[in-house]
């Protein structure tokens, strides 16, 4: 069955992961994140670290291959797609998605 | 003859400026904006701190030799971070001659550690000799990733946590408290060793919550294969592939004692996560000026070893703290606009324009 593409961005860290999206718009929302959720954010910065440490993948609105999200994803060995433009608007909390960090694509599961 | 003409032949200064401009103009490395735009702290630092740094070095030279002064700085990437203040040099009261002497001194102290290339232009940061590398490998317990594949990702997360922790306590100037070095070739070049040293992780006079962290120093030795890794002179590891996928072996030291079990490694990750939650709680209501005070205090705090040798107080003067409670001047914002417009020009002309702008700040 062909997967539906929801978002396209830059492939920042390789790998494919399925999981639940958690949209986090600021450090005050970090408590939403459970282990192995997919972190969906405008961008990452150090104060997002507690959520990053739980994430099975990261998807961001902005950034490039040397952005913070890309670097921490490659360090952690988790897939990452950056520069999707609208991930935090298009995705919903607990939506089941597939993140392909090798191709830079996010699919509906 | 105007002083500006003398810099054409001043290779050290030219190299420092070229390095700075090349680094900040990397097109896919976005300038940090957490918790403020990267250029903003420079106004707060350059007015008093630069003179403090310069005069501390000059006074120390009367009592100890340059090698000892270099050792007081602890590591070359920390010294490299001071060069990031170059774009703020025009707002210091140092004379042109003093600025030149300061830059030359910083380069000399970086060279104490980096015998090959101060600016790591070949993307290798070689600080230890082979004797030291072998000593550390012999002293620690080496964990094989193939025996526990999940360990690779745990190590990755620990490094993310520690690197972010350094960003947090140094407020953007992360390499003040870490040194990443290597890659050191081992096993006939088939494998290589990357060393991550995180130190001064409990700067309690500036950040009281850090007393809860389990270590002042953590060293991680990682052996990789089949991945290209480079290290720049400001403490960034350059890689475009998943690090855990290529990690073969790891050895960890906490406060110079080897870590001997998987559960201790897991405990380290948990501690990192806990301290981060404390850091976020501590700074939850911070405004911009609170962050600026912390950046400034950390810069002064790292000169405590130097001040101890001189028998002087390391803490910032009252005028410095008061400065941190004010907005930068309109002159500085005008400068940032001018700097920004030249910065955005991605052509060779833009590069040369930025170099000239920074040179003029030094020779102003």
ipTM: 0.94
DSSP annotation string for B16-69 = HHHHHHHHHT-TTSPPP-SSS-TTHHHHHHHTTHHHHHHHHHHHHTTTS-HHHH
pLDDT at B341 over 70: yes
| pLDDT the model gives residue A1 | 60
Stretch 245-264 of chain B: residues touching chain A, C-beta under 8 Å: 245
How confident is the model over B46-56, as pLDDT tens digits? 989 999 999 99
Contact B221, B193 (CB under 8 A): yes
How confident is the model over B257-281, as pLDDT tens digits? 999 999 999 999 999 999 988 999 9
| pLDDT the model gives residue A87 | 97
| pLDDT the model gives residue B348 | 83
pLDDT at B8 over 50: no
Tokens 């962290």 correspond to: B213
DSSP annotation string for B74-137 = --HHHHHHHGGGGGGGGGS---HHHHHHHHHHHHHHHHHH-SS-TT-TTS-B--S-HHHHHHHH
Note whether A49 contacts B29, CB cutoff 8 Å: no
Q: In this complex, is the C-beta atom of B305 within 8 Å of any C-beta atom belonging to chain A? A: no
| pLDDT the model gives residue B29 | 56
Note whether A77 contacts B273, CB cutoff 8 Å: no
What is the value of pTM for the model shown?
0.93
| pLDDT the model gives residue A102 | 97
Average pLDDT, chain A: 94
Between B81 and B300, residue with greater pLDDT: B300
How confident is the model over B85-107, as pLDDT tens digits? 888 888 899 999 999 999 999 99
How confident is the model over B215-229, as pLDDT tens digits? 999 999 999 999 999
Chain B interface, best mutation among A71, A76, A99, by max B CB count within 10 A:
A76
At B240, give phi and psi (nearest 5°): -130, 20
How confident is the model over B173-221, as pLDDT tens digits? 899 999 999 999 887 778 999 999 999 999 999 999 999 999 999 999 9
Which residues of A participate in catalysis according to the annotation? 68
| pLDDT the model gives residue B6 | 39
- Separation of CA B364 from chain center: 26
Note whether B30 contacts A64, CB cutoff 8 Å: yes
Q: In this complex, is the C-beta atom of B266 within 8 Å of any C-beta atom belonging to chain A? A: no
| pLDDT the model gives residue B131 | 92
């Amino acid at each position: 069955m062909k997967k539906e593409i929801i978002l396209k961005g830059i492939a920042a860290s390789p790998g494919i992961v399925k999981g639940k999206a958690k949209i986090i718009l600021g450090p005050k929302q970090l408590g939403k994140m459970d282990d192995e959720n997919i972190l969906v954010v405008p961008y990452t910065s150090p104060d997002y670290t507690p959520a990053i440490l739980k994430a099975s993948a990261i998807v961001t609105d902005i950034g490039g291959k040397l952005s913070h999200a890309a670097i921490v994803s490659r360090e952690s060995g988790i897939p990452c797609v950056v520069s999707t433009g609208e991930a935090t608007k298009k995705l919903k909390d607990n939506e089941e998605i597939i993140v392909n960090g090798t191709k830079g694509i996010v699919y509906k599961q | 003859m105007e002083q500006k003409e003398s810099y054409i032949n001043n290779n050290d200064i030219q190299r420092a400026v070229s390095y700075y401009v090349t680094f900040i103009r990397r097109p896919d490395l976005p300038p940090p904006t957490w918790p403020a735009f990267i250029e903003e702290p420079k106004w707060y630092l350059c007015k008093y701190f630069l003179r403090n740094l310069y005069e501390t070095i000059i006074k120390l030279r009367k009592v100890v030799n340059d090698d000892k002064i270099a050792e007081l700085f602890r590591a070359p990437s920390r010294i490299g971070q001071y060069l990031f203040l170059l774009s703020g040099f025009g707002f210091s009261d140092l004379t042109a001659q003093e600025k030149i002497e300061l830059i030359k001194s910083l380069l000399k102290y970086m060279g104490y550690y980096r015998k090959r290339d101060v600016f790591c232009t070949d993307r290798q940061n070689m600080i230890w000799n082979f004797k030291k590398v072998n000593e550390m490998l012999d002293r620690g317990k080496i964990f094989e990733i193939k025996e526990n594949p999940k360990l690779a990702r745990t190590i990755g997360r620990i490094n993310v946590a520690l690197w972010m922790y350094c960003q947090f306590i140094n407020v953007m100037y992360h390499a003040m408290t870490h040194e990443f070095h290597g890659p050191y070739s081992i096993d006939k070049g088939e494998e290589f060793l990357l060393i991550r040293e995180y130190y001064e992780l409990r700067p309690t006079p500036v950040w009281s919550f850090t007393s809860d962290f389990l270590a002042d120093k953590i060293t991680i030795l990682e052996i990789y294969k089949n991945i290209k890794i480079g290290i720049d002179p400001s403490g960034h590891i350059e890689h475009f592939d998943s690090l855990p996928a290529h990690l073969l072996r790891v050895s960890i030291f906490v406060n110079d004692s080897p870590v001997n079990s998987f559960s201790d490694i897991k405990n380290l990750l948990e501690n990192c996560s806990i301290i981060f939650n404390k850091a976020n709680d501590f700074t939850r209501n911070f405004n911009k000026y609170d962050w600026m005070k912390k950046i400034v205090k950390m810069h002064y705090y790292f000169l405590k070893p130097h001040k101890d040798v001189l028998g002087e107080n390391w803490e910032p003067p009252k005028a410095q703290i008061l400065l941190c409670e004010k907005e930068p001047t309109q002159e500085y914002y005008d400068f940032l606009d001018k700097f920004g417009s030249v910065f955005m020009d991605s052509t060779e002309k833009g590069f040369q324009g930025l170099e000239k702008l920074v040179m003029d700040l030094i020779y102003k």
